[in-house]
Structure 1
Amino acid sequence: MKSQDLFSLVRKLAPEEYQSSWDNSGLQVAGEAQDCRKAAVCLEPTPDMVGRCLEWGAQAIVTHHPLYMKPKAPVGGQYAEVLRMVMKAGAWLYAAHTSLDCRPDGPAFWLGSRLGLANARFVETAHAFTPMEVSFHAARPLTREQAELWADREGVHSVSQSAAGEVRVVVDRPVWPSLAATIEFGMDARPEYYVRALEAPRESVGFGQVGELPEPLAWGDFLAELAGLVDREVFTICGRAPEAVSTVAYCGGSGSSLIDAATRAGADVFITGDMKYHPAVESELCVVDVGHFALEEEMMRLFAAELGERVDESVEVRFFEGTEPMAFHICAR
């Protein structure tokens, strides 16, 4: 499989248009390998993890966290070490960060699925997209095969052609670049497009999720179920614990900035990672910090499985398990 075709699949599963303005989702290091036979997926681009992926023979490595947020000189540290390793191997390094976090029904929302949350909605909406109407003139009538080839693509709402030869395509904005390439491949010359933004239907993407449990759980029973789902025995809990839990909000990674939004959404409890002192002091909502790693490691495991189902049979996709960087030590007195 061509490396660029692999990354086209990754971009469909984690559209770069979904990422936050401060983020650096996308290609981190351009490789030399034109073909990809082994693609590694992991959470963190550390030298140890990247070394394991390259030792396995990966031509492409897809991580969640970017190697860098802003361009910087490779003057030392883990950043420079990873650059040397990847470039020496001629491999590609790609990050699906907030582009994956925001994808509706994507693996970032695995916890809500396993809790069986009903009426699930975003804790915070990040972007709202409407489709595009693209029109162009085709010198010849579209064949049925051409129209079906374009219309059957995910994200394409309709394809039509007038008697005068004008073709109209209604398509989701993130899908248009790949569809345009397909259209131009089948044309004698690149057409001139007229593009119009529509007002509906409107697709929203965002961070975190809030919803209702199938039935209320006593606080202790809820913590026991949560412990089994995130494979943790120790949590950090702040705020006043409710007697029972009906409405749950959560956000993977560093989600403490969403506490107010979760409170407004009516959550009884908010689950996240990287809880900080001052938000903990000020929070009126009960917050359970299960750790950054616990929620996002499972997300990337699911993403690897999803990608493995989409690639052709020439590519092996493997998930590389990470190691929790935070450890608890209990002192005996």
Structure 2
Amino acid sequence: MKIKDILPFFRKLAPEENQSSWDNCGVQIAAALEETDKVAVCLEPTPEMVDKCLDWGAGAILTHHPLYMKPKPLDSTGMYWEVVRSVMNAGAVLYSAHTSLDTRPGGPAFWLGQDLGLTDTRFLEVEHSATPIEVSFHVNEPIERETANVWANHAGIHSVSQSNAGEVRVICDESAWGEIASGIEFSLGKRPLFYIRSLTGPRSDVGFGEVGTLPEPMQWEDFADKLAELTGCEVFSFSGKQPETVTRVAYCGGSGSSLVGKAAKAGADVLVTGDVKYHGAVETPICLVDVGHFSLEEEMMRRFAAELDGELDGVEVKFFQGVDPFQFHVKQ
């Protein structure tokens, strides 16, 4: 499959327009290859992991964490230089789905809430909000049903209608309008005069983390055991007051301890995340559980690989399991 035809599937499942302003999602290193039949998915673009993917024969490597946040010069050796060298020598493409994946509603970043069966869920922090736009234009002849159906079935279109006076009205997502406009122009053989206005609703949100209610309250020990089972963490730390029972749960993959105040305001008994710092642990208003940066995001990428495998025909998708960089010493 041509790599230029694979990249749109990455962008469909992790829309780049949803990324945070500080982030660097998308192509990290462009491909010299035109085609590949193997896509590797992993959490971290370390030299060791990238070499494993390339040794397998991957022509496309999709990671969660970006290779860089800001462009770097190749003026010294190191992890960054080694990855660039390996990927460019292989002619492969390196792609990052970072906050573009973290914020996708219902995506694999929200696997913990799904496995816990949380209900009445909402984002802990909204990153972007958008409302549809209304586009109207006039055509002299009635739009044929077949043409209207083609327009209506385009991703991002909510409705298509035409009045008796010939005015066509399209409700669509603003992010999809450019492609939709091109399709309309192609169908009509000309570009009509479009009148566009923003609507006040319905609002579509993307964001980080989630808070929701368990199907039934759980005793703390039972909840802790369930969390250990789901994350694979036999040992994890927590701070703040230990609740007797857990009813409402907040979580955020990666480094989400800064959301503890919003979790508390949302009525959460506990926030599950990673990378908790000392002062955050001291000052937390609710129970703050640190299962590590690795566990939640490693499972997210495993599920993302399975999702991508279902989208790509004729291409083998393989998840490469990572290694938690933190190790524990237990005194014997």
**TM-score if structure 2 supplies the norm length?**
0.93
Q: Give the CA RMSD over aligned residues.
A: 2.0
Identity across the alignment (%)? 60
Cα deviation, residue 228, structure 1: 0.5
Report the Cα distance in structure 2 between the residues aligned to 1:284 and 1:276, rounded to whole angstroms: 14
SS in 1 for 2:206: strand
SS in 2 for 1:69: coil
Aligned residues: 331
Report the Cα distance in structure 1 between the residues aligned to 2:66 and 2:297, rounded to whole angstroms: 14
1:274 equivalent to 2:258? Answer no
2:134 corresponds to: 133
Report the Cα distance in structure 2 between the residues aligned to 1:185 and 1:29, rounded to whole angstroms: 33
1:70 corresponds to: 70
Unaligned 5+ runs, structure 1: none
Cα deviation, residue 119, structure 1: 0.5
Cα deviation, residue 247, structure 1: 0.7
Report the Cα distance in structure 2 between the residues aligned to 1:54 and 1:190, rounded to whole angstroms: 46
Cα deviation, residue 194, structure 1: 3.9
Cα deviation, residue 110, structure 1: 0.4
Moved more, 191-200 or 83-92: 191-200
Distance change in 2, residues 1:172/1:115 (3 Å): same
- Aligned pairs (5 A) from 1:184-223: 184-186=185-187, 188-189=189-190, 193-223=194-224
1:324 corresponds to: 324
SS in 1 for 2:217: strand
**TM-score if structure 1 supplies the norm length?**
0.93
Q: Is the 8 A contact 1:132 1:196 kept in 2?
A: yes
2:241 corresponds to: 240
1:303 corresponds to: 304
Report the Cα distance in structure 1 between the residues aligned to 2:282 and 2:318, rounded to whole angstroms: 42
Q: Is the 8 A contact 1:130 1:199 kept in 2?
A: yes
Query: Can you list the C-alpha shifts for 1:199-222, whole angstroms capped at 9, x where unaligned?
Result: 111111111111111111111111
Cα deviation, residue 15, structure 1: 1.1
1:40 corresponds to: 40
Cα deviation, residue 170, structure 1: 1.6
1:85 corresponds to: 86
2:50 corresponds to: 50
Distance change in 2, residues 1:193/1:47 (3 Å): farther
Q: Is the 8 A contact 1:15 1:174 kept in 2?
A: no
Q: Is the 8 A contact 1:44 1:64 kept in 2?
A: yes
Distance change in 2, residues 1:205/1:241 (3 Å): same
Report the Cα distance in structure 2 between the residues aligned to 1:252 and 1:213, rounded to whole angstroms: 18
1:290 corresponds to: 291
Which one-letter code corresponds to 2:16 in the other structure?
A: E
Cα deviation, residue 114, structure 1: 0.6
